Structure 1
Amino acid sequence: MAALSIQERKRLRQIGHALNPVVMIGGQGLTENVTEEIKRALEDHELIKVKVAGEDREARVAIIAEIAKATESESVQTIGKIVLLYKRAAKQNQKLSNLVRFANSAK
């Protein structure tokens, strides 16, 4: 995946500000089922928030990097335990995509 430009990151952060986490990673860590759920959410919504539990900052950073690699997505922003992930959908779902919903509400 090509790196996002500064303007694209800024736009995605603006959209992501209003979003709530759709996936939460708990004590079990990053399991195969959690990875599949993140992939499904990215395919539907393109831009999602994921909450990574745990007090160890290095462990959270490692999990976030692992999520981005496993889902072929890009980490747009990380604030505390919340990461904003972006992956362009192969076929954009007009009803579910957060990018489409934001573009329609911004008019």
Structure 2
Amino acid sequence: MLTGKQKRYLRKHAHHLSPLFQVGKSGINHNMIDQIDETLEKRELIKVSVLQNNFEDKDDIAEQIAQGTDAEIVQTIGNIIVLYRESAEQSQYDLP
């Protein structure tokens, strides 16, 4: 579980990132979860965009992704979800 201070630190580093994944009207599937999982292992901090043609709640989508990848939800703002999971091999971020 991330503390408020850690979330602020990660939000600062995620500000300049572009979304790497888009969730469309077909929603979340197992293949997308696997790809997000691999990307989190390499990058640790990513953004996911929820398109407007998706009728599911963005908070539910964030929870599904977080549970499927064992990641932490740093922030959901607008249609953007910021996720973090520390890499098992090499950590890029020194959390406070």
Fold match by TM threshold 0.5: yes
> Bigger relative contact order, structure 1 or 2, given CA contacts below 8 A and separation 6+?
2
Gaps of 5+ in 2: none
Matches within 5 A, 1:20-31: 20-31=18-29
Q: Structure 1 runs of 4+ off > 4 angstroms?
A: 55-58
Q: Percent identity?
A: 36
Larger C-alpha radius of gyration, 1 or 2?
1
Do 2:25 and 2:54's aligned partners in 1 also have CA atoms closer than 8 Å? no
Structure 1 stretches lacking a partner, 5+ long: 101-107
User: What aligned pairs does 1:56-95 form with structure 2 within 5 A after superposition?
Assistant: 59-92=57-90
Please say if residues 23 and 37 of structure 1, whose CA atoms lie closer than 8 Å, have aligned partners that are also in contact. no
- Are 2:41 and 1:43 equivalent residues in the alignment? yes
Q: How big is the shift at 1:54?
A: 3.5
Once the two structures are superposed, residues 29-50 of structure 1 have per-residue CA deviations (whole angstroms, 9 ceiling, x without a partner) of 0011111111011000000000
**Structure-1 residue corresponding to 2:4:** 6
Structure (1 or 2) with the greater helix fraction: 1
TM value normalised by structure 1: 0.79
